[in-house]
Structure 1
């Protein structure tokens, strides 16, 4: 019998993570609000356009091969996680 467990989100390729994220209603709301629209203004397509713009890619597939785009995607995910309350928001007043 084959073990067909779904891989952990963090272990998936970045493009696959981005696809899942864009289908998440919470991310759609995050993207809409960040663009100055009401929270229900975006669907998966609008969220995907927002993600591509933020990551400066023409296709989410580019996230798998462009390290700079992947870094931007990782920052976007961190901002989303902070927005949802999953992690503490980065302190912009951090002391050095």
Structure 2
């Protein structure tokens, strides 16, 4: 019997997390809203472009080695989690 082991998102490399996040329809809506297009939804490619712009990187793989990009990515994930209701927002 083989059990499938599902890796937690937080246990993955940042670039892998970013790839998964950009394919999440809820993140795609978040990215569109933050880009001034409320009520719209980006596709995965546009969400990735948004993420690269926010993190000031040319490629998501830079998230694995750039400390400033990792900090920006962590802040972006926190903003998204608050926006999506996954964590409570600050008052």
TM-score by length of 2: 0.92
2:57 aligned counterpart, secondary structure: coil
The structure with more radius of gyration: 1
Structure 1 moving runs of 4+ over 3 Å: 1-4
Structure 2 runs not aligned, ≥5 long = none
Q: Distance in 2 between matches of 1:41 and 1:2?
A: 38
Q: Give the superposition deviation at 1:9.
A: 0.6
TM-score by length of 1: 0.88
Q: Give the superposition deviation at 1:4.
A: 4.5
Structure 1 runs not aligned, ≥5 long = 92-96
CA contact (8 A) 1:30 1:39 kept: no
1:7 aligns with 2:3: no
**Alignment correspondent of 1:69:** 69
**Alignment correspondent of 2:17:** 17
Aligned ranges for residues 35-54 of structure 1 at < 5 Å?
35-54=35-54
CA contact (8 A) 2:55 2:72 kept: yes
